[in-house]
């Protein structure tokens, strides 16, 4: 049985996120990887969430493509966010990642792109994205949007430099 979009959102919010006691503040799903900005209120919540998502996705792809085995090369990487400054800048990095990675051609496309949580901050939020914390740092939606999008070219250029100077 396939779940509809509303049913998927309700499952993710009520069963999965609440039982693991994690909050998703920002995400971006890219063709080869994904980014999450999360917090947990129970030990192991994030690890369990990532394990469930990756295992479910691997089962889906293996069934769909009639294949076997792991999809992911290595375990996920986690970095602790220590300050509020890091929190807001990491959220911007995540939201701009589809532009940096050339998935999207322009900032304008971010406003409609469903594979990032940016639309939850500028349009109507999905129930599984916790928007209050990030929004609290800005006077309103326009300020949050300006903070995020004003650095798109800079971040894209850094991504190009990083690509052309590996190991630096």
Q: Which domains does the chain have, with CATH numbers?
A: 5-164 (3.30.70.1290)
Nearest to 76 by CA among 115, 35, 45: 35
Which pLDDT band, with edges at 50, 70 and 90, does 124 fall under?
confident
Inter-residue contact 126 to 9 (CB < 8 Å): yes
Q: What is the pTM of this model?
A: 0.81
User: What pLDDT is recorded for position 71?
Assistant: 79
> pLDDT tens digits for 37-53?
999 988 888 888 888 88
Distance of alpha carbon 6 from alpha carbon 119, whole angstroms: 16
């Amino acid at each position: 049985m396939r779940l509809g979009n509303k049913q998927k959102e309700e499952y993710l919010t009520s069963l999965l996120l609440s039982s693991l006691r994690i909050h998703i503040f920002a995400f971006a799903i890219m063709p080869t990887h994904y980014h999450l900005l999360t917090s947990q209120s129970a030990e192991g919540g994030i690890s369990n969430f990532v394990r469930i998502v990756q295992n479910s996705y691997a089962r889906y792809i293996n069934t769909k493509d009639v294949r076997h085995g792991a999809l992911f090369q290595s375990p996920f990487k986690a970095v602790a966010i220590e300050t509020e400054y890091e929190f807001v800048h990491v959220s911007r990095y995540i939201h701009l990642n589809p532009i940096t990675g050339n998935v999207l051609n322009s900032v304008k496309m971010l406003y409609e792109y469903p594979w990032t949580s940016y639309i939850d901050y500028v349009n109507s939020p999905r129930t599984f994205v916790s928007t209050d914390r990030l929004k609290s740092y800005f006077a309103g939606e326009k300020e949050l949007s300006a903070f995020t999008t004003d650095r798109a070219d800079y971040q894209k250029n850094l991504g190009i430099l990083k690509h052309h100077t590996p190991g630096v």
